[in-house]
Amino acid sequence: MWAKKNQKKHNANGAAWKKKNKEKVKFGNAIYHKNNKEYNNLKSIRWARKNQEQDRANHKKWKETNRDKVRFYDANRRAAKLQRTPKWLSKEQLREIEQFYIEAHELSWLSEGGLHVDHVVPLQGKNVSGLHVPWNLQIIPGSNNRSKSNKFIG
């Protein structure tokens, strides 16, 4: 009741306490986020869908300011793809893989966020890792692929 009547003072007190207890706040936030991962992920996905232009701008800005991280992630992804492409694949199967990427590019106008070639079983999954083979690929909207992240949903 007091907090509602004295909202400015209440907010100022809270801000002062947070400033004085940064470690406690950081620890509390970490616990909250750990215990509410799914909810927070859904909130992030919903926000990104509603604010696609802002999300793209934020992502672009992050990539520009974190070029070293982007290069690191890209290099790891390329290496994983190479390691997960079996040597026993036939030329026909390699062409099938290539065809997925060509189709996704040619049909990208169908989806606002573009189309991505997704690995059904991720190449670098936490519990399971798949192969870079035609039967592990699918074409899905970019927003679905980003929300799926590096998880096996099956």
Spell out the per-residue pLDDT of the chain, length 154, in tens. Answer: 788 888 888 888 889 999 999 999 999 999 998 899 888 888 888 998 899 899 989 999 999 999 888 888 888 888 888 888 898 999 999 999 999 888 988 887 877 778 888 888 888 877 888 888 999 999 988 877 777 766 767 6
Q: Closest Cα to residue 100, out of 146, 139, 131, 130?
A: 139
CB 153 within 8 A of CB 126: no
At which residue do the structure tokens 């999954």 appear?
Answer: 125
pTM for this entry: 0.53
Q: Is 130 exposed, middle or buried (0-12, 13-18, 19+ CB in 10 A)?
A: middle
